[in-house]
Amino acid sequence: MAEIGAEIGTKARGSVSIENLGKVYGAVEKAGVVALDHCSLAIAPNEFIALVGPSGCGKSTLANILAGFDQPNTGSVSLDGQIIASPSVLAKPGPDRVMVFQHGALFPWMTILDNVLYGATRSAAPHSDDLRASALDLLRRSGGLNRVAARFPGQVSSGMQRRIEIVRALMTDPAILILDEPFRAMDSIAKSRMHNHVLALHESVPKTTVFITHDLQEALLLADRVVVMTTRPGRIKQIVEVDLPRPRTTEVLASEKFLALKAATHQAVHDEALKAFEAGEKERA
Amino acid sequence: MVFLPNAGKRLSWRRGGTAILLFVALWALVAHSPFIAEGSLPNPWETVAYFLAEFLTDSGYWQSWWVSFQRVAYGFLAAQLLGIPLGLLLGLSRRANAIVFPVFELLRPIPPLAWVPLSILFWPTTESSIVFITTVGAFFIIVMNVLYGIHGIPKQYLWQAKSLGARRSSVFLRIILPAILPSIVAGMVLGIAVTWNVLIAAEMIASDSGLGRLTWEGYVSATPAVVIVGMASIGLAGVISTTLIHLFERYALRWRSE
């Protein structure tokens, strides 16, 4: 559907083109760590992409380049036809590409409402009443969070904190939403509630989303396509189309189709995890 | 987050009262012990009686309070007003740090009281030299606290602000300043104690007024009751100032209370 929109020239935002992207840490001639190597991927507007791979496979590097925190050595990233990252271009991190970090980054000294408005008020100060209203509305739709809007982040649960962070990111109306292992530290019940929340939110506020995780099941549950990455050099090993119908909930986890998809993808991810583990052992030996 | 154990917490009055009673009893015991020369240490009630008779209605005594408090307030505020911006400058600008920090590090180990002679020679009035010395006492502490506070700001806050598209001014005012506020308050708690320390010594050396001077005069006139009233007054003044700082802390850092 997104492709059709692009064809007829409607202003669909959030199409990303990653071409031949490479990133080496340390001096190239001294054989530095190859975090990314020849990565190419096209993301359609409002598509939900999950990047899966073991730690150290370069998925965070890719996210940091997308968000504008890191610069590639080769290749380029374009957003809606404009190059935002290449060896010669580094567009500043900005509200069109908002990142939600692995370890929560709500500002503890601001109330929840002020946190949510922090990025958004930057450009739209004259409409601050409207902005407040839409912030409260989005909080309400994120599980009644409008009731805790006047509290400080330290006074709510970690699940609420993660939902608030996503609301804050959405308030800036980004072209891409980058979620870097946002549910890593959560227990399984809280995690599955968050999964349903993200799935529902993607229905009501669709955004081009890049979701980073090392959990294959989570990736298959949430994404339209799952990108499996290899370890050092970080390459794209396999791209899995997830043709499960939307709207989805965690109920899909028990379906035959999901289990078949998981079985078919499992080996690829497992091999990479094993390789990463062995490489780590070798490094320490 | 770890902070002073009693910060923001209400003292248990019963325990506090018992502790003070025990202290008074111990004082009385020591005062009447055979090892203490007759008349060199008045017991608690003699001291209280002396205070009621000589000081309570004496305007000179209350003038000493007022003078000392004023000096502490000026010195402490000057230290904040100079120290917080300098700390920010040193913490945020690599160039300023390279130029200023070596000098700062050279001056920092000099004890505040070592500034007394130069300060008296340099400043036109005794008053200004005493305020200067008390300022020096708290100044280095607050600068160091701001500096470490900036280095301790979690990187993710700054990244997140940038990712949300925040401008530099907004990052400074709404991220950096509030993030270092706990360090500033910690610097204040330490700084106010040092300010009183330095002030009392400076008053004994260089001034003819204030609680420090009052205590010193008790010594010069060989009246131990005056010395003890002076010391108790200084202790009380310290408690009052610390309480004021804690009230400020409770308001400014209310987001930290769970």
Task: Look over chain B and give the mean of its residue pLDDT values, rounded to a whole number.
Answer: 90
Touching check for A107 and chain B: CB below 8 Å? yes
ipTM, 2 decimals?
0.80
Report the C-alpha gap between A160 and A167 in whole angstroms.
10
pLDDT > 50? residue B215:
yes
Positive/negative CA dihedral, B187, B193, B196, B199: negative
What confidence tens digit (pLDDT) does each residue in A63-104 have? 989 998 889 999 999 999 889 988 988 888 878 889 998 877
What confidence tens digit (pLDDT) does each residue in B147-195 have? 999 999 998 899 899 888 888 888 999 999 999 999 999 999 999 999 9
Name the residue in chain B with its Cα closest to that of A98.
B163
Q: Which residues of B touch A98 (CB under 8 A)?
A: 163-164
Please answer yes or no on whether B160 and A105 come within 8 Å at the CB atom. Answer: yes
Look at residues A178, A263, A162, A186 and name the one whose alpha carbon lies nearest to residue A220: A263
Element (H, E) at A147: none
Positive/negative CA dihedral, A273, A274, A276, A281: positive
Q: Which residues of A touch B177 (CB under 8 A)?
A: none
Name the residue in chain A with its Cα closest to that of B251.
A109
B113-124 b/e with 16+ CB inside 10 Å = b? bebbeebbeeee
Please answer yes or no on whether A118 and B166 come within 8 Å at the CB atom. Answer: yes
pLDDT > 50? residue B227:
yes
pLDDT bin (cut points 50, 70, 90) of residue B2 is very low
Question: Can you tell me the mean pLDDT for B67-72?
Answer: 95
Q: Which residues of A touch B255 (CB under 8 A)?
A: 108-110, 152, 154
pLDDT at A11: 57
pLDDT > 60? residue B7:
no
pLDDT at A283: 67
- Residue ranges of chain A whose pLDDT lies below 50: 1-10
Report the C-alpha gap between A191 and A181 in whole angstroms.
11
Report the C-alpha gap between A253 and A260 in whole angstroms.
11
Q: Which residues of B touch A118 (CB under 8 A)?
A: 161, 164, 166, 174
Which residues have CB under 8 Å from B88's CB, separation 6+? B146, B150, B176
pLDDT at B203: 93
Residues B169, B111 contacting (CB under 8 angstroms): no
Residues A116, A134 contacting (CB under 8 angstroms): no
- Give the A window 118-157 contacts with B, CB below 8 Å: 118-119, 122-123, 152, 154-155
Which residues have CB under 8 Å from A38's CB, separation 6+? A20, A21, A22, A75, A235
pLDDT > 80? residue B212:
yes
pLDDT at A5: 38
At CB < 8 Å, which residues of chain B contact A?
Answer: 154, 156-157, 159-167, 170, 174-175, 178-179, 181, 254-256, 258
